[in-house]
Structure 1
Amino acid sequence: MSDDTSLTLGVLGGMGPAATLDFLAKLQAYTPAERDQDHIRVIADINPKVPDRNTPGSGAGPVLAEMAGALRGAGADVLAIACNTAHAHADLIQRASGLPLIDMIETGARAAHETGAMRAGVLGTKGALKLYREYLAAQAMGMITLDAERQEAFMATLYRIKGGDTGREVRREMKAHADALVKAGAECIIAGCTEVPLVLSQEDLRVDMVDPGDLLARRCVAVCLGWEALPAYHGA
């Protein structure tokens, strides 16, 4: 597929930067190419200054909407968000840009259903958990979450990763969080935060692990190269 027939992808990133770079690396890896010109064009706004999506009333939505509009102005045809929690502002982002969005939450929930599991354990922020609960329910699936104390510990682990710590102790902590979900009845694990796969892999688990960021990268390549139809535009 040549560069004059493929779509241009706009990426809202920086939440956090390491997870966005991981997503962009996967985009490149999943694109079949024999030369530079065979890759899809990607316009990424890696903006770590977006207010914390986990803080109610932080003002993240308007910042994300402004980023999305700028990506369209720069030439993007379709959008992706390299952050699960930021999908809470998906409608605003689409309205501001007038562009369709390849939804990571929808992608992850659908993949969880395809594992054959009836109950998915989700490692994510409170905002991401709310989104996954809705999308998993649409797949007739239940959701298992960490208890309040362990959810707080998970967030501490998450912020350590955002701070650059991906060492053995952090990996052990993340595996323990996932194991707690399996013990509580989860039949698959959704990495509901893009930092989770930086320290957790399928080899760490005895149930299927769903990595929505990885699946999103694959879908973005498919959509931009015309192998998959553009998602429906949900903006007003």
Structure 2
Amino acid sequence: MAEGSSDTSLALGVLGGMGPAATLDFLTKLQSFTPAKTDQDHIRVLVDINPKVPDRNLAGSGAGPVLAEMAGALAGAGADVLAIACNTAHAHADLIQRASGLPLIDMIETASSAARDRGARRVGVLGTKVALRLYREYLAAQAMGLVTLEPRRQDEFMATIYKIKAGDTGPGVRREMADYAADLVAGGADALIAGCTEAPLAMGPKDVRVAFIDPGELLARRCVAVCLGLEPAPAALGA
């Protein structure tokens, strides 16, 4: 609980800015899922929207130490639990938790568990190569397979993601995203995870013929539940 507050809810610290539009989308979902009648019913949210975090997709970019510093600052500002509004940045989850001493509500775990709960056996994921590696591990641990784009299409997908980061969510980009999803379904996916936080900005359930899983939406719902005491907070690393 944030110091100096009589509220029993937990304060949420959000590592964001990767990219800014995706973080704002996450915060909008967080607010909309909170059962509040007054301002005071909402949870306290401390957000670092830091677009200067080095590119998480580039090996050796130095993103980890920057994210760790952000997490430590959020803890110092009064956060009780953390969330990361970026799938790929979860590659540094352990470092983030060690630097802050706070538990993390894990987006990758949350989305993978949702796929399992929907009865999926082979899950298509649209994400960066780093995010795909993380999802492969989490899905395999729950006896599910991963379906990915073939290399050329993966490169094209990343080009589309950078278009979205630049503000293009128009019909052309939406068609491209729907086509990537169709490729995964054709490859045997019986559920699809939009495993890059920019992806849901340009696609949704109507664009996919199988179960559509938005990790940011699920993370927002879970953050509300944890902060309001409706779900236990995750254990802190090493606890």
Q: Same fold (TM over 0.5)?
A: yes
Match of 1:224 among 224, 227, 239: 227
Match of 2:115 among 112, 115, 129: 112
Q: Which residue of 2 aligns with 1:63?
A: 66
- Tell me: CA distance 1:85–1:20, structure 2 relative to 1, closer, same or farther (3 Å): same
Q: Is the 8 Å Cα contact of residues 40 and 224 (structure 1) preserved in structure 2?
A: yes
Q: Which residue of 2 aligns with 1:49?
A: 52
TM superposition shift of 1:235: 4.8
Aligned partners of 1:3, 1:227: CA distance in 2, in Å? 18
- Tell me: CA distance 1:21–1:43, structure 2 relative to 1, closer, same or farther (3 Å): same
Q: Which amino acid aligns with 1:219?
A: R
Q: Which residue of 2 aligns with 1:40?
A: 43
Aligned partners of 1:60, 1:122: CA distance in 2, in Å? 23
Please report the RMSD computed on the Cα atoms of aligned residues, expressed in angstroms: 1.1
Q: Which amino acid aligns with 1:52?
A: D
User: Gapped runs of 5+ residues in structure 2?
Assistant: none
Identity %: 74
Whether 1:93 and 2:96 are equivalent positions in the alignment is yes
TM superposition shift of 1:193: 0.4
Aligned partners of 1:190, 1:25: CA distance in 2, in Å? 20
TM superposition shift of 1:3: 6.9
| CA deviation profile, 1:138-157 (whole Å, cap 9, x unmatched) | 11000000000000000000
Q: Is the 8 Å Cα contact of residues 3 and 38 (structure 1) preserved in structure 2?
A: no
- 3-state SS in 1 of match to 2:233: coil
Aligned partners of 1:205, 1:54: CA distance in 2, in Å? 26
Spell out structure 1 runs of 4+ moving beyond 3 A: none
Q: Which residue of 1 aligns with 2:127?
A: 124
Matches within 5 A, 1:2-17: 4-17=7-20
TM superposition shift of 1:204: 1.0
Match of 1:196 among 191, 194, 199: 199
Q: Is the 8 Å Cα contact of residues 16 and 162 (structure 1) preserved in structure 2?
A: yes
Aligned partners of 2:235, 2:171: CA distance in 1, in Å? 42
TM superposition shift of 1:74: 0.4
- Tell me: CA distance 1:163–1:230, structure 2 relative to 1, closer, same or farther (3 Å): same
Aligned partners of 2:126, 2:6: CA distance in 1, in Å? 37
Q: Which residue of 1 aligns with 2:29?
A: 26
Q: Which amino acid aligns with 1:172?
A: R
TM superposition shift of 1:233: 1.3
TM-score, structure 1 length as denominator? 0.98
User: Gapped runs of 5+ residues in structure 1?
Assistant: none
- Tell me: CA distance 1:131–1:8, structure 2 relative to 1, closer, same or farther (3 Å): same
- Tell me: CA distance 1:3–1:83, structure 2 relative to 1, closer, same or farther (3 Å): farther
Q: Which residue of 2 aligns with 1:187?
A: 190
The count of aligned residue pairs is 235
- 3-state SS in 1 of match to 2:40: helix
